[in-house]
Amino acid sequence: MSTFICSNDYPVVETCKGKLRGFFYKDVFAFYGIPYAQAKRFEMPEEVPAWEGTKDALSFGYICPILSNPRPSAEVRVTHRFWPDSEDCQNLNVWTPTIEKGAKKPVIVWFHGGGFANGSAIEQVCYDGDNLARYGDAVVVTVNHRLNVFGYLDLSAYGEKYHNSANVGVADLVASLKWVHDNISAFGGDPDNVTIMGQSGGGMKVTCMGQIPAAAGLFHKAVILSGVSSPEMSEGRTGSAVLAEEIMKVLRIDTKDVDDLQKVPTVLLIRATNKALYNLSKQGIVISLEPKQNDYFLGDPAVVPFSDYFRTVPLWVNSCISEMGRAQFDKDKDAYTEEERRAFYVEKYGDEAKADKAIELFKKAYPGKNILYGIDIDVLTRRSSARYAAKKAAESTAPAYNGVLAFAFPIDGGKGAWHCSDLPFVFHNTEKLPLYDMGETSDCLQAQMSGALLNFARTGNPNNDAIPEWKPSTPDTVNTMVFDTVPYAADNYDKELLEYIDACGLVTNPFAVMGRMVKDPDEGSDGREWLY
């Protein structure tokens, strides 16, 4: 029988600011909604004041408000959790197998996805850290922080008070790592062995931490899942200073009265932001609500060098075979004949010779896999991840590992691993999600991916008994671990395939639509589908 304990005096942990009471369940201690910082709107985070007595850490904290209501879709593939929001959202959650101070368990800090605009630390059910803490004997931390206009609106032109307003969202994450450094030993963690991990926008946040000098030394390893940006992804976007000016126009606030923006009610600010985005979209201006390169943030290594500190940090960068793919088939992929499968390629490439070449290169990269998975294959994220690993290898003294989840899921007649589909395996949480609870198959993939994460968090090397030898990448050779029911490692295994698809002009950017507001918010909105 599972033991649940939550009494007045146990489990209680003493932090630098005061005592916290959590609960114990199935061999794991949990502490929810811990405040790690506070801040005025658009300003840098500050420490929270100390408290007297014991504060309850039994409820998840507020998440950051987002700009549009989500429209749930395909929840069986990516199961979400919806939660109350507030600008007072700088909180984190801790799962740990022990509260013995000095136990020095490896620490894994999770930054959620959703770009820099959406999501939360508890948004996906598979983010919960209890199974990973239990299975891996590790401490797991998940972090909420400011997003979108609350975290990345550039008001730097309006005075020193707002000098870094375009980066306060990632500054929150630095504050969370400072909290981990100062307090995690009380939860059994090792402050000198912290791995930061994120997926999609969370992966980009991991990159940001590597490029912010204030974060140097607060983490020691980095994992990026489907979250490497590239110049192609941000082409044609404008910084948020233009948005700030338009928001003030909508609200009829004179720029000399910029401080009045801090007094606008949250709901009204969101409405004004959406109206401003719509007004700018009509002018062909697409806004980028994301960190701004300045003296605080050194910039994305996709276009600038890795920082001196980030060069010393071991890295694992991963992606999924289909990511944002949306190809539709009217029957199971295995039910098509070879000629029927080839016909899909001819339709896509518009030429029989090109189609045959693409099939040849897909078979070379993915031997034994149904060629129809090549119709929906991801190029943008995969190529960016491979480039990132090679560049990190070229500039670093620490290893850079590269991987791809190539598993075909038993849904809709067979679907290649999509954006977020790796997370239940990484978090060892397949038992919580019906689609992922596949018995021995789940066990196999969890052993590969959770095993890789946990070994990497302990030692900086992801190799484990469930996978063949996985070598770090070099500047010229990207050695990729292909996670699947039968995993394999290969050097530059899909380079020819990706280059060929690009040469055929078939690389699309699914992120191009993000940042555009195509419907006037005054006419109402039915929201949008989750993309993560």
**Position 532 in a domain:** no
What are the tokens at 494?
């899909």
Q: What is the tens place of the pLDDT at every residue in 215-261? A: 999 999 999 999 997 666 666 678 999 999 999 999 999 999 999 99
- CA nearest neighbour of 318 among 498, 116, 482: 482
113 and 52 together in one domain: yes
**Position 73 in a domain:** yes
Which residue segment(s) compose the domain that 22 sits in? 4-152+162-228+297-317
- The helix (run of H) or strand (run of E) holding residue 172 is helix 168-183
169 and 308 together in one domain: yes
99 and 224 together in one domain: yes
**Spatial contact of 40 and 262, defined as CB atoms under 8 Å apart:** yes
What's the chain's length in residues? 532
What are the tokens at 121?
């630390």
Tens-level pLDDT at each residue, the chain (532 residues): 468 999 999 999 999 999 999 999 999 999 999 999 999 999 999 999 999 999 999 999 999 999 988 777 779 999 999 899 999 999 999 999 999 998 999 999 999 999 999 999 999 999 999 999 999 999 999 999 999 999 999 999 999 999 999 999 999 999 999 999 999 999 999 999 999 999 999 999 999 999 999 999 999 999 999 999 766 666 667 899 999 999 999 999 999 999 999 999 999 999 999 999 999 999 999 998 999 999 999 999 989 999 999 999 999 999 999 998 888 899 999 999 999 999 999 999 999 999 999 999 999 999 999 999 999 999 999 999 999 999 999 999 999 999 999 999 999 999 999 999 999 999 999 999 999 999 999 999 999 999 999 999 999 999 999 999 999 999 999 999 999 999 999 999 999 999 999 999 988 776 655 556 667 777 766 555 555 5
Spatial CB neighbours of 368, under 8 Å, sequence gap ≥ 6 = none
**Position 214 in a domain:** yes
Q: What is the tens place of the pLDDT at every residue in 93-151? A: 999 999 999 899 999 999 999 999 999 999 999 999 999 999 999 999 999 999 999 99
35 and 182 together in one domain: yes
Strand order in the sheet with 189-199: 4-5, 23-25, 28-35, 91-96, 139-143, 105-111, 189-199, 221-225, 315-320, 400-405, 479-483, 488-491
Q: Structural domain tally of the chain?
A: 2
Q: At residue 482, what are phi and psi to the nearest 5 degrees? A: -95, 105
**Position 325 in a domain:** no
CB-based burial of residue 340 (10 Å sphere; 0-12 exposed, 13-18 middle, 19+ buried)? exposed
Instruction: Give the distance from CA 164 to its chain's centroid.
Output: 23
Q: Of 326, 357, 372, which one is at a domain's C-terminal end?
A: 372
304 and 365 together in one domain: no
To 5 degrees, how large is the angle CA 415–CA 416–CA 422? 115
Distance from C-alpha of 229 to C-alpha of 69, rounded to nearest angstrom: 25
Spatial CB neighbours of 21, under 8 Å, sequence gap ≥ 6 = 6, 8, 11, 12, 54, 55, 56, 57, 58
CATH number assigned to the domain comprising residue 204: 3.40.50.1820
**Position 424 in a domain:** no
**Position 112 in a domain:** yes
Q: In sequence order, what E strands does 211-267 have?
A: 221-225, 237-238
223 and 350 together in one domain: no
Coil, strand, or helix at residue 191? Answer: strand
173 and 223 together in one domain: yes
Distance from C-alpha of 270 to C-alpha of 166, rounded to nearest angstrom: 17
**Position 515 in a domain:** no
Distance from C-alpha of 114 to C-alpha of 80, rounded to nearest angstrom: 12
**Position 146 in a domain:** yes
